[in-house]
Amino acid sequence: MEVIQSVALLRSTLQQKKSGIGASLKAPVGFVPTMGYLHEGHLSLIKAAREASEIVVLSIFVNPLQFGPTEDLDRYPRDTERDLKLAEEAGVDIVFLPQVEEMYPGPVKTTVSVSGITSVLCGASRPVHFDGVTTVVAKLLNIVQPDKAFFGLKDAQQVAVVSQMVQDLNMNVDIVACPILREEDGLAMSSRNVFLSKDEREQALVLSRSLKAAEAWVREHASFRAEDLRGAVKAVIEEAPLADIDYVEVLTYPQLEQPEAVEAGVPVRLIVALAVKFGATRLIDNTILTLGK
């Protein structure tokens, strides 16, 4: 495994590796962008990339542009040594590990912005977040030029936003959405879980429980108003005294619009998405429901 910090060296190394690939049904280059502090969720993306591609590139970069001034950039967890060990074990070929100065050598003058779907959910709570994400993902895709890029559905809005950007800007890459990996007790894996106290960790189980409740609720209601489903999910979360709800929303996916009343037999895909703070730690989770089929 090669660990590369500069854009120029990454480009020449990839060019050399690509010229050595023989005929194959796999994609030449699969790419997994991350902010590091790797867990099984990240490893599942690497596994998907490994299975689909000849060369697997992993990036580890905590992107300052996607954090607001009062957010947790400074305390975002980092452990590069451990990340590199896990990446090697998972079969990564190249780790791109740039410093901030390599990605942003001077003041940022060009940004990429997707409108509409970025103004709801996390975009409403984190106003600068998605411009930071699309700008850095556009840069990373330009640098790595992968055939496929793998993103987790834990960040389902991010998948929708990046897919929209790739479509609108005619970027030549397949965005592959991968399922959410959970701890055995249901908590969605996240680098930020490390910040939870014992009580917060225990009470955070209401998140996955509320989404399971949503799945059961729609099995019992063939026709319903999204607001009633939202109320049912909120009620479960409110059982946890430490849960401070940022949002609970039921929207169409991937359009992220308010749904009409859901009618039995009418196909619709909904996302139940939530962001909840436990102490200083903000967690997100979601489930996507395919109804009426």
Ligand X SMILES: Nc1ncnc2c1ncn2[C@@H]1O[C@H](COP(=O)(O)OP(=O)(O)OP(=O)(O)O)[C@@H](O)[C@H]1O
Min separation Cβ 135 and ligand PAF, Å: 9
35, 124, 171, 245: residue in contact with ligand X (rule CB under 6 A)? 35
Cα angle, residue 124 at apex, residues 133 and 78 outer, rounded to 5°: 40
Question: If binding means CB under 6 A, how many residues of this protein chain bind ligand X?
Answer: 18
* Angle of the 156-168 helix axis to the 129-144 helix axis, nearest 10: 60
Based on the residue annotation, tell me whether 42 is a catalytic residue of this protein. Answer: yes
Is 171 marked as a binding-site residue? no
Q: How many residues bind ligand BAL (CB under 6 A)?
A: 3
Which one from 13, 27, 42, 151 is the annotated catalytic residue?
Answer: 42
- Could you say which of 44, 66, 157, 203 contacts ligand BAL (CB under 6 A)? 66
Does the annotation flag 129 for ligand binding?
Answer: no
Which residue is at the shortest CB distance from ligand X?
Answer: 152
Nearer to ligand PAF, 150 or 278 (CB): 150
Question: Which CB, 231 or 279, lies closer to ligand X?
Answer: 279
Tell whether residue 44 is a contact of ligand X (CB under 6 A): yes
**54 sits near ligand BAL (criterion: CB under 6 A):** no
Token pair 């590139």 in the structure block, residue: 57
What residues contact 250, with CB distance under 8 A and at least 6 apart? Answer: 226, 227, 229, 230, 233, 259, 270, 271, 272, 273
How many Å apart are CA 188 and CA 41, to the nearest integer? 9
Q: Measuring CA to CA, how many Å separate 220 from each of 213, 224, 256, 267, 292? A: 11, 10, 24, 16, 13
CA end-to-end span of the chain: 45
Minimum separation from the CB atom of position 283 to ligand BAL (A): 10
Q: Which of the residues 155 through 184 are near ligand X (CB under 6 A)?
A: 155, 178, 180-181
The answer to whether 181 is annotated as binding is: yes
What is 205-246 written as a DSSP string? Answer: HHHHHHHHHHHHHHHH-SSB-HHHHHHHHHHHHTTSTTEEEE
Task: Find out whether 59 and 140 touch, Cβ atoms under 8 Å.
Answer: yes
Q: Which does 41 bind (CB under 5 to 8 A by kind): ligand BAL, ligand PAF, ligand X, none?
A: ligand X
- Catalog residues that contact ligand PAF under the rule CB under 6 A: 33-35, 63, 66, 133, 136-137, 155, 158
> What residues line the site for ligand X (CB under 6 A)?
34-35, 41-42, 44-45, 151-152, 154-155, 178, 180-181, 188-192
Task: Give the residue numbers of the binding site for (R)-pantoate.
Answer: 66, 158
Task: Give the residue numbers of the binding site.
Answer: 35-42, 66, 152-155, 158, 181, 189-192
Catalytic sites, residue numbers: 42
Task: Give the residue numbers of the binding site for ATP.
Answer: 35-42, 152-155, 181, 189-192
